[in-house]
Structure 1
Amino acid sequence: MSKITCECGHVNPEGTVLCEACGKPFEANQHLNNNKPEQLLNMRYDGSARRSQTYQRTFIDKTWNFFSSVKIGVSIIIVIVVASALGTIFPQEMYLPPGSDPSTHYKDQYGILGQIYYQLGFHNLYSSWWYLLLLAMLGISIVIASIDRFVPLYKTLKKQKPKRHPNFMKKQRIFGETDSGNIDYKKLKANLKSKRYNLYEEDGNILAEKNRFSRWGPYVNHIGLIIVLLGAMLRFVPAMYMDEFLWVREGETKQIVGTDGIYYMKNKDFILENYDMEDEGNSQFRESLQKQSAPVPENYQTNAVIYKRTDLPVVPGKEPELKKVKEAEARVNHPIPLENGISLYQASYQLNEFSSMTFKLHDKGDEESNYGEFTVDLIEPKDEYKLDNGTVVRLERYFPEFELDDGEPKQVSKFPRNPAFIFEVDAPGEETEVSFAGIGVNIDASGNNDYKLGLTNFETRDVTGLTVKKDYTLPIIAVGAAIFMIGVIQGMYWNHRRIWIQPKGTGVWVAGHTNKNWFALKKDIDRTLEGTGIAFPVDQQEEKDAEERRKDDGIISD
């Protein structure tokens, strides 16, 4: 790559717009920042040579240039935002009712739009390969765009010298000339130091600079964003993040998912407390509570017993040997902590789930008759039940939660919320009969049955729903967010200000530049030049704008 040697002797990289040392404009490269050279210098990135706008030769160059483009980065963000919004139209698969089949649930609940939503893969949007690819592309774009701009800008600001080329001085927005031999440089330096400027001198030339660190604010932002993106992507690594759901019935002991079979939990008791409108303590909520069509829960909690398996390593099929670890209560926003960052959060509940049903066999036309009773455990039902008179009742099919679809029973979920059964009744010496029985339903399949199965009793119990959660990514995301905010504050509340002062013959030249907040810079210059014998410089951009306005108003001619 060809280098550019300035008249000051400094060797600049190809594509440099302003000499890194003296600031001399290389007019041939002005097109890199402007469609045509302007009267005032374009000081963006201090005229440094950015790779993305210099090299266009190889595939690597073109890839670098693609990802370094701000337009490409913004386009990727827009695509991610639109995709994320689409993912909220219908619930993600992880939030469907337990036991639901996604392939039918979306169509049944949301019609043709739900079916399209499922077939396009939006039901698992945030873990899809293309969504993760978009996040990775955004991260690559942020990294490349930052390096493309930060490295050359850092080198340029590090190499800048107090002595600047005359064209650099004249083409600054703030520029002024003073022809006087009575200039108090001592007071000038004191005034600059009082404004907390750092002074650099070379052959009588002065560079006063402060708040250079504010130029790095956007890059600190980018570092924070990259860390946040990294934390978000690590949520798909099982060792870093887990969010599982666990249903446990009262009295049931169940293995806690995500603990490699080490921890178990027993639902000792589930407690639900509703707001009492007669309670004086709830008087401020009474009007709101009265508008509710159902009782409003004030507290629901699980009294749990946590066990740890002692017969390790785990042998599949072997009954676990459990040791009680602790008793604890899981309430909303008050989880039960376990080891390895895992916690149990109270998330949901199901009241009065059926646990067992008792049936009796009697004559079809006489409900007072009774040939025997049997009880079906709805969690682990048996295949057949033998009655005292020798009759065998076989459980042909079991629907934990059913609904009729065109006269045919259809299973909705695997939880016994509305159970129904297809029984075969095999009485001694008689033909086998088929019956369909459930809550409020009893159908004679053939219409010629002699016997009938009647529901005599049932038992219910409450079920608690717990979220088993582990999240090592949250601290990473929090650190990224904190770094991002530091960058925002760094770039928003400070601005990089520079003032160049150069002796010229019997006078002095003054130029100034800032990346933003020109009013504050001009105010600083006015105060530092006061009493030094140096005339206040002018804002050439304001003069140019005023001249254009006068031309537009016809006050002056071209």
Structure 2
Amino acid sequence: MIENSKCECGHNNPVGTILCENCGKPLNDETKEKETLVQEMRYEGKARRSQTFQSSPFDMVWNFFSSVKVAIILIIITLIASGIGTIFPQAKFVPSNDPEAYYAEHYGLWGKWFHLLGFSNMYNAWWFFTLISMIGISLVVCSLDRVIPLYKALKNQQVKKSIDFLTRQRISSASALSEENMEEKLSRMEEALKTKGYQVKREGKALLAEKGRISRWGPYINHIGLIIFLFGVLLRYVPGWYLDETMWVREGEVKKVPETPYYIKNERFDITFYDEKETPEAKKAEGPVVKKYETKAVLYEKNWTTGQLTPVTKGSIIVNHPLAYKDLRLVQADFRMGLLDALSLKLVDKESKQTLGTFTVDLYDIKPNQVFCVADREIVLLDYYPDFALENNQPITKSPDPNKPAFVFEVREKGQGKGERSWVISGQNLDALTKENRYAIDLAGMKMVNSTGLMVRVDKSLPVILFGGVISMIGLVMGFYWHHRRVWARAEEGRLYIGAHTNKNWYSLERELKLLGEFDGLQVKRN
């Protein structure tokens, strides 16, 4: 930080200024020793807040986030974390109700630590949210720390710059010229520069020509776009703004769409296959080639006052053609054919070997102590194991899906307080446990259905993200393809001094000026 910021020309500059705001002279010894002013011209030598104030806690936080190095480190950490998060599938895509056990079983010690460190649910983790927020804060602070002094400097450019400023430019020249020809020379230079689209200002025997200033705002417009983009990403953490879930709906079933006020009914699921006559690929394939997956569905909205479901839209859900309503998208993602939906069981009298009647158990609508009436008997469902297995000689269920349903029934006469118990596993009466029972419960039939897998998508932040992306691309185009070019000229004591500066493509600027025919002797200095 510079203690004495007063220039030799008499202008008082703000503390931290590198080049005099008035004449452009270097204000510190380090800059004076340099041959060119390329680095200092980046922000016109203006003092930035991070270089000026460093005492209060707010200044320390500001200075931390205003560092480009800090921003790069944060981005690198986020990229590394994102890369690690893709090594194994995220928990939402794991086919298990116990992700911790799944990762340890399938991926060993690495999978265990992957889950423990939060990478299995990375995009919802607090630390990932913090990283994204810190990158956004860094972008805001970095931009404000630089764009404000740059705007002030470019807005208040002085036409008459010091000789030292002109000769230190990377493109410069100095030539002797008589006083009689000086005015004529400056006028010819002015007209020549105007033919190339420069805006020219004159003050006596000095001129400033400038074009392409808008390119200087390209990086900051890019930053604005990135800030909007990151803001859109952070909006996904706001409840109701973003949803990415999966659900299974059986044919004929009405099911609540997760985290929404809607219900979906799967009226029918169809698979259409290619005919071998339609396409050569179908002939070459070992099995049938699927042409189309289609779910005919109705979307309902629940009236929370009456509890009634009102249909709001209906249609077919096909791959790449979701069912859309407002912000909700239901996308065809998977299917299951021939799922067990219900079991029809019969009550048999062992003594007479007669079937007394049948009853149906809906495997997806089982209630505790559910009672089925057959003839004059009551059959009470005491226990249910959807996916039956034995562990340490104890019955358990491996999953909530009815892959191997097992039941414990109690059969009793109507009005009787207690009856006999029967075990039924996958529709078969377990005789080994029910030898003394009078009644047996056996399979009478099965009901099979198809099930469709849907992805539930809500993304209100997508327009914000797309808008930020467009703004960012505009900033990149401005910064990469447009050039900010300036030319200064000043006549002093029989010599004409010329200095030129651009933010990129120095040799192109030198060539452009030489082609005008009024800028002989210009050359590009090496850094």
Fold in common (TM above 0.5): yes
* Mapped partners of 2:193, 2:348: distance in 1: 105
Q: Does the Cα contact within 8 Å between 2:335 and 2:453 map onto a contact in 1?
A: yes
Amino acid of the structure 2 residue aligned with 1:17: I
* Mapped partners of 1:254, 1:521: distance in 2: 68
Amino acid of the structure 2 residue aligned with 1:218: P
CA RMSD of aligned residues (A): 3.1
1:128 to 108, 113, 125: 125
Amino acid of the structure 2 residue aligned with 1:48: K
Shifted more, 116-125 versus 151-160: the winner is 116-125
Amino acid of the structure 1 residue aligned with 2:319: V
Q: Which residue is 1:331 aligned to?
A: 318
Q: Does the Cα contact within 8 Å between 1:384 and 1:393 map onto a contact in 2?
A: yes
Shift of 1:432: 3.9
Q: Which residue is 2:34 aligned to?
A: 38
Q: Which residue is 1:548 aligned to?
A: none
Question: Counterparts in 2 of 1:478-517, with a 5 A limit?
Answer: 478-517=466-505
Shift of 1:237: 1.3
Mark the CA change 1:422 to 1:252 in structure 2 (over 3 Å): closer, same or farther.
Answer: closer
Output the TM-score relative to the length of structure 1: 0.83
Q: Which residue is 1:399 aligned to?
A: 385
Shift of 1:112: 3.7
Q: Does the Cα contact within 8 Å between 1:3 and 1:13 map onto a contact in 2?
A: no
Amino acid of the structure 2 residue aligned with 1:228: F
Q: Which residue is 1:342 aligned to?
A: 328
Q: Which residue is 1:271 aligned to?
A: 270
Shift of 1:427: 6.9
* Mapped partners of 2:11, 2:228: distance in 1: 38
* Mapped partners of 2:52, 2:300: distance in 1: 65
Q: Does the Cα contact within 8 Å between 2:245 and 2:457 map onto a contact in 1?
A: yes
Shift of 1:38: 2.0
- Give identity over the alignment, percent: 39
Shift of 1:424: 4.1
> Do residues 178 (structure 1) and 175 (structure 2) align?
yes
Q: Does the Cα contact within 8 Å between 2:282 and 2:288 map onto a contact in 1?
A: no
> Do residues 61 (structure 1) and 59 (structure 2) align?
yes
Q: Which residue is 2:236 aligned to?
A: 235
> Do residues 88 (structure 1) and 86 (structure 2) align?
yes
Shifted more, 14-23 versus 151-160: the winner is 151-160
For residues 308-328 of structure 1, what are the alpha-carbon distances to aligned partners after superposition, in whole Å with 9 as ceiling and x for unaligned?
A: 44xx4x14xx6x334444432
Question: Counterparts in 2 of 1:251-270, with a 5 A limit?
Answer: 251-260=252-261, 263-270=262-269
For residues 14-42 of structure 1, what are the alpha-carbon distances to aligned partners after superposition, in whole Å with 9 as ceiling and x for unaligned?
A: 11110122101112463xxxxx9422223
Aligned residue-pair number: 514
For residues 137-186 of structure 1, what are the alpha-carbon distances to aligned partners after superposition, in whole Å with 9 as ceiling and x for unaligned?
A: 11111111111111112212222212111211221111211113356333
Q: Does the Cα contact within 8 Å between 1:436 and 1:444 map onto a contact in 2?
A: no
For residues 286-315 of structure 1, what are the alpha-carbon distances to aligned partners after superposition, in whole Å with 9 as ceiling and x for unaligned?
A: 55x44xxx6553211221233444xx4x14
* Mapped partners of 1:326, 1:503: distance in 2: 78
Hey, which bits of structure 1, 4+ residues long, moved more than 6 A? 366-369, 427-431
* Mapped partners of 2:352, 2:225: distance in 1: 74
Match of 1:541, SS? Answer: coil
Q: Does the Cα contact within 8 Å between 1:425 and 1:433 map onto a contact in 2?
A: yes
Match of 1:137, SS? Answer: helix
1:119 to 113, 116, 120: 116
* Mapped partners of 2:11, 2:282: distance in 1: 76
Question: Counterparts in 2 of 1:205-354, with a 5 A limit?
Answer: 205-260=206-261, 263-276=262-275, 278-280=276-278, 282-283=279-280, 287=284, 289-290=285-286, 295-309=288-302, 312=303, 314-315=304-305, 320-339=307-326, 341-354=327-340
Shift of 1:373: 3.8
* Mapped partners of 1:402, 1:512: distance in 2: 83
Mark the CA change 1:449 to 1:20 in structure 2 (over 3 Å): closer, same or farther.
Answer: farther
* Mapped partners of 1:85, 1:527: distance in 2: 51
Mark the CA change 1:254 to 1:138 in structure 2 (over 3 Å): closer, same or farther.
Answer: same
* Mapped partners of 1:167, 1:493: distance in 2: 31
Q: Does the Cα contact within 8 Å between 1:22 and 1:160 map onto a contact in 2?
A: no
Q: Does the Cα contact within 8 Å between 1:395 and 1:421 map onto a contact in 2?
A: no
Match of 1:38, SS? Answer: coil
Structure 1 gaps of 5+ residues are 31-35, 543-558
